Amino acid sequence: MEYKIAVVKGDGIGPEVVDSAIEILDLIGERYNHKFIYKEVLAGGAAYDAFGDPLPKETIEVCKKSHAVLLGSVGGNKWDNLPKDKRPERAILGLRKELGLFANLRPGMLFKALEDACPLKSEIVGEGFDILVVRELTGGIYFGESGIRETDNGPAAYDIETYSEMEVRRIAKIGFEMAMKRRKHLTSVDKSNVLESSRLWRRVVNEVAQDYPEVQVEHMYVDNAAMQVIRDPGQFDVLLTTNLFGDILSDEISMLTGSIGMLPSASLGQTSPGLFEPIHGSAPDIAGKGIANPIATILSAAMMLRFAFDLKEEADAIESAVNKVLDAGLRTADIRGKDEDFLTTQEMTEAIKKTI
């Protein structure tokens, strides 16, 4: 079977970790008789440097014609002073919008082998945690009206949070479907005591819940959710969130795993190709040093196999290999102890390949 993958390596450490993921995919292709056809295109800072545009039309077209998109991280302080519409991060928002990717899945689990890297006390972590953040991705404050206006106090900036019933309903359905495949517990995060958009969010989530009677549903204000994630992360199964709240909570959860370099993500739409990327940034301070952790991008490739191509066995093989490598005590710089040796990006990639 042939699968077309648009590859956006991005900026900073993006090219390094994407190359690692491609090595793993090529091995999976050999083992399971699949052919992955890669088409590399530019987005982010690299695209701006080449074309003066962080998201060229060619990139959009190639992504739309592919079965999936594998993305490295974009951005860096090199481009911090660009106008808003030219910043590398606009490429990611634009890709999500162009591809209709409204659902972002961000798993946050504590690998048994990395318990010591978790900043929480062992009595809080207990038997560990496995949280799936289902984040709405194309609505809310990031896509609402924004601007600058004059006030009695001088210039003032504004960003407007807007959600339609349709947008809430479709992401809620994704959340409930995910909960049905897991432990059948969904926590919807909002701020309905203050925000009108959150009141609509809660009402629609309750309506959708009627179609999933097996799922236990609770609602939680975002400030309480942020506290509860630290107090008792094991209480959560699926967290259903708006764009803004999910952005913040998923990063908080990622640090409980010991390193943001461990966690993948998938962005999905109704019929369009999904986009798969690590949740960490471009880390320009370590770019080119060969010490970046490739695991998040490798696990993103596993999510691509699972959600875009329906290749469950192949995805399981990658995830199992990562677990075995960690259980063997192998570490990259971001997850090593103070006195431990660590593997380079390529060494970690080779270790995972040998374990598949």
pLDDT in tens, 189-217: 999 999 999 999 999 999 999 999 999 99
pLDDT of the residue at 339: 57
Output the six-digit token pair for 158.
Answer: 């504004």
* pLDDT top residue among 249 and 337: 249
Please list, in sequence order, all residues whose beta carbon lies within 8 angstroms of the beta carbon of residue 217, skipping any fewer than 6 positions away. Answer: 186, 187, 188, 205, 206, 209
Classified as helix, coil or strand, 186 is strand
Q: Residues with catalytic annotation? A: 142, 191, 223, 247, 251
Please name the residue that has the structure tokens 């077309």: 4
Q: Which of 284, 310, 318 is nearest to 72 (CA)?
A: 284
Dihedral (C-alpha) 79, 8, 101, 305: value to the nearest 10 degrees? -150
Kindly report whether the global pTM for this prediction surpasses the value 0.85: yes
Mean per-residue pLDDT over the chain, rounded: 94
Tens of pLDDT, residue by residue over 310-327, are: 999 999 999 999 999 999
The CA-atom distances, in angstroms, between 197 and each of 160, 210, 220, 282 are 10, 21, 15, 32
Please name the residue that has the structure tokens 């995805």: 315
pLDDT of the residue at 14: 97
* pLDDT top residue among 111 and 27: 27
pLDDT of the residue at 31: 97
Q: What percent of the chain has pLDDT over 70?
A: 99
Q: Is the pLDDT of residue 259 over 80?
A: no
pLDDT of the residue at 261: 80
Helices in the chain by DSSP H: which ranges? 14-32, 45-51, 57-64, 89-99, 122-125, 165-180, 196-209, 222-231, 243-256, 295-307, 312-327, 345-355
Tens of pLDDT, residue by residue over 295-311, are: 999 999 999 999 999 99
Q: Is the pLDDT of residue 337 over 70?
A: no
Which residues are paired to 280 by β-bridges?
A: none
- Rounded to an integer, the average pLDDT of 233-246 is 97
Q: Is the pLDDT of residue 338 over 70?
A: no
- Rounded to an integer, the average pLDDT of 26-49 is 98
Domains, the chain, ordered by start: 1-109+264-356 (3.40.718.10), 119-256 (3.40.718.10)
Going by DSSP bridges, is the β-strand pair 2-8/35-40 parallel, antiparallel, or unpaired?
parallel
Q: Between 295-307 and 312-327, two packed helices, what is the crossing angle to 10 degrees?
A: 160
